[in-house]
Chains A and B, each alone.
Chain A
Amino acid sequence: MKKYQIKFKNSSVEGSWYSLVNHIPEPMQRCKQFLQENPEDRLESGVKLKKLKGKLKGILQYDITHKTRIHYKVDTGEHIVYVEYVGYHP
């Protein structure tokens, strides 16, 4: 199975990702594996994946923990996950 490549929108998003990797390594490892293998699969995500709607259609949200989440887009043709935002739940 071809893995998805993970790419960050900018250095700020990249920095937030690595900061979480340091603070919560295990959930981040699960998140990374999910994004690389099944970034659009609800069943594989448990209840962590949401597909946003309305003007945010096309953006997916993965809940890393109950406090942290990422938003991303998927290019299925190129097998790339574009991470748009890494941060805390409002």
Chain B
Amino acid sequence: MVTTVFSDEIVNATELRAKQSHWLTIASKRPVTVTYGSRKLTILNREKIRNLFIQAHYMESFVKYCNEVMKGTKSNAFPWTEYLDDEEKKQFHEEFISSIMMAVVTENWEVVETLLEDWKATAETESDEETMKALRTKQASDKYIALKE
């Protein structure tokens, strides 16, 4: 079952040399594996493999985090979540799942990266009492002081 997920064209080094342009054109669309003695080397579109690496990175974090949430243990995947309250942790979890699902479909992983950066900045801010005290202090808008140009 799993082996059918990856399909490639297989050529030997001699065939590749004889029809380089042909095989490289194919490789830009789907993987071409070159056999060289007992070795097998695959040529892939760079954007595709880059996307797969990014996907693997975030999916690993995602699975680790879900596992931590299920077990109710402190997060190693995203240690800064300890500074979020329960409601925020729930919101982060839901948004993280949505962003992963969207990124899998659109292949735009910046959505996930941005979400994580925003939540991390939120947690870091909440961890700092001085900043939180300043942010909690109310001020009437007409009392703010204009920048001197």
**A residues lining the B interface (CB < 8 Å):** 5-11, 13-14, 17, 32, 42, 47, 50-56, 59, 61, 71, 75, 80, 82, 84-85, 87, 89-90
Contact = CB atoms under 8 A, between A and B. Distances in A.
Given A8-B147, A11-B145, A54-B88, A42 B114 contact: yes
B6 interface: no
A32 B148 CA distance: 12
A51 B122 CA distance: 8
Given A7-B147, A10-B139, A90-B124, 19 more contacts: A9-B137, A14-B145, A52-B121, A52-B122, A53-B88, A54-B87, A54-B91, A55-B85, A56-B125, A59-B135, A61-B121, A71-B125, A71-B131, A71-B134, A71-B135, A84-B134, A85-B131, A87-B130, A90-B127
Nearest to B84: A54
B147 A6 contact: yes
Q: State which size class the interface on B falls in.
A: 20 to 34
A61 B121 CA distance: 8
Nearest to A81: B147
B89 to A, nearest CB: 9
Given A71-B135, A84-B135, A87-B130, A55 B88 contact: yes
